[in-house]
């Protein structure tokens, strides 16, 4: 049975009899198969699964993005029940940020580029709410999507630095059949924009393909992605990045784990996606070619 709780007190009571370890999936609702995959893994790896549904006002840098963020709590709760989530914590804003709340968790270098630069204050809002949720739930493990790769890195840094014992686990991006990463924001796309949005993954796949056949110039990959995106008139590029996979600093030469990532607007909807440029665990890197 899925128990839905709305206050810190109700959450504490529900957790009183919960078996450990506790797996946590934090969401902003409007749940899709990406969220389901996180819940399923949490469920498989932990005797207790907690999901949170909270549209966090502090991580939105545009007021209209917050007010227009899609919401359907009844449906979300059904999905959590369908995934056999034990406890759904769906608080209101005052429950998370009570009167007098005045602390911000601000992560350093890894939170600065890409989404950090494009959306000032975004990661402060994310790190602050996730720190609160980790603590309220007492999560042993928390599951996040690779789709928001920088977010995972920011949360890992935050948990390490603040000695928060929650293990941060990242799971692969779940995609639509044309490769578009599932996202709650996809609902805002018009039919034309929805069709055009497939270009994000096509551009990332092309970069990955070039990288896997030996291209090591980051600029070559950036221009390849720029050209593919330019072929889609509805795509309005925000950034195109090929960065170090550990620091997110932009690269000239790819000489270790890297991350290709994109932020692109389709009309008023801003979408992000990424592709790691690294060998999957357990594979042998391609042979080095030495000049001379």
So which residues are the catalytic ones? 35
Measured from the CB atom, the residue of 145 and 276 that comes closer to ligand AMP is: 145
> Contact at 8 Å (CB) between 192 and 269?
no
Shortest gap between Cβ of 91 and ligand AMP (angstroms)? 15
Shortest gap between Cβ of 183 and ligand AMP (angstroms)? 5
Shortest gap between Cβ of 228 and ligand AMP (angstroms)? 21
Shortest gap between Cβ of 34 and ligand AMP (angstroms)? 2
Measured from the CB atom, the residue of 132 and 174 that comes closer to ligand AMP is: 174
Q: How far apart are CA 97 and CA 133, in angstroms?
A: 11
Shortest gap between Cβ of 147 and ligand AMP (angstroms)? 4
Measured from the CB atom, the residue of 45 and 215 that comes closer to ligand AMP is: 45
Can you read off the two tokens belonging to residue 180?
A: 């578009």
Q: How far apart are CA 204 and CA 131, in angstroms?
A: 31
In 3D space, the residue among 72, 92, 154 whose CA is nearest the CA of residue 119 turns out to be: 154
Measured from the CB atom, the residue of 37 and 263 that comes closer to ligand AMP is: 37
Interface contacts to ligand AMP, rule CB under 6 A = 27-28, 34-35, 37-38, 144-145, 147-148, 173-174, 181-184
The burial of 195, by beta-carbon neighbours within 10 Å (0-12 exposed, 13-18 middle, 19 or more buried), is given as: middle
In 3D space, the residue among 40, 259, 254 whose CA is nearest the CA of residue 146 turns out to be: 259
What contacts 131, CB < 8 A, 6 or more positions away?
Answer: 105, 158, 162, 164
Measured from the CB atom, the residue of 185 and 265 that comes closer to ligand AMP is: 185
Q: What angle do CA 181, 62, 25 make, to 5 degrees?
A: 45
Can you read off the two tokens belonging to residue 28?
A: 């902003």
Residue nearest to ligand AMP (CB): 145
In 3D space, the residue among 42, 111, 28, 46 whose CA is nearest the CA of residue 83 turns out to be: 42
């Amino acid at each position: 049975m899925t128990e839905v709780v709305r206050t810190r007190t109700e959450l504490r009571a529900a957790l009183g009899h919960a078996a450990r370890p506790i797996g946590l999936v934090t969401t902003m609702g409007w749940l899709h198969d990406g969220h389901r995959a996180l819940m399923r893994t949490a469920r498989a790896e932990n005797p207790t699964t907690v999901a949170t549904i909270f549209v966090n006002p502090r991580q939105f840098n545009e007021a209209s993005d917050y007010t227009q963020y899609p919401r359907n709590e009844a449906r979300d709760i059904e999905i959590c029940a369908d995934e056999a989530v034990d406890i759904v914590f769906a608080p209101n804003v005052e429950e998370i940020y009570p009167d007098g709340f005045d602390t911000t968790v601000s992560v350093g270098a890894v939170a600065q580029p890409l989404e950090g630069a494009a959306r000032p204050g975004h990661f402060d809002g994310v790190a602050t709410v996730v720190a609160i949720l980790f603590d309220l739930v007492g999560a042993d493990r928390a599951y996040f999507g690779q789709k928001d790769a920088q977010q995972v890195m920011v949360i890992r840094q935050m948990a390490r630095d603040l000695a928060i014992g929650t293990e941060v686990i990242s799971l692969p991006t779940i995609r639509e059949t044309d490769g578009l990463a599932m996202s709650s924001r996809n609902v805002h796309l018009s039919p034309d924009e929805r069709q055009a949005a497939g270009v994000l993954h096509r551009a990332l796949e092309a970069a990955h393909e070039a990288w896997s056949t030996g291209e090591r110039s980051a600029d070559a990959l950036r221009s390849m992605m720029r050209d593919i995106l330019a072929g889609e008139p509805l795509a309005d590029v925000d950034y195109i990045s090929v960065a170090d996979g550990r620091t997110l600093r932009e690269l000239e030469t790819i000489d270790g784990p890297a991350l290709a990532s994109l932020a692109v607007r389709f009309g008023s909807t801003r979408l992000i996606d990424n592709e790691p440029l690294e060998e999957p665990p357990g594979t042998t890197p391609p042979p080095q070619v030495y000049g001379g």
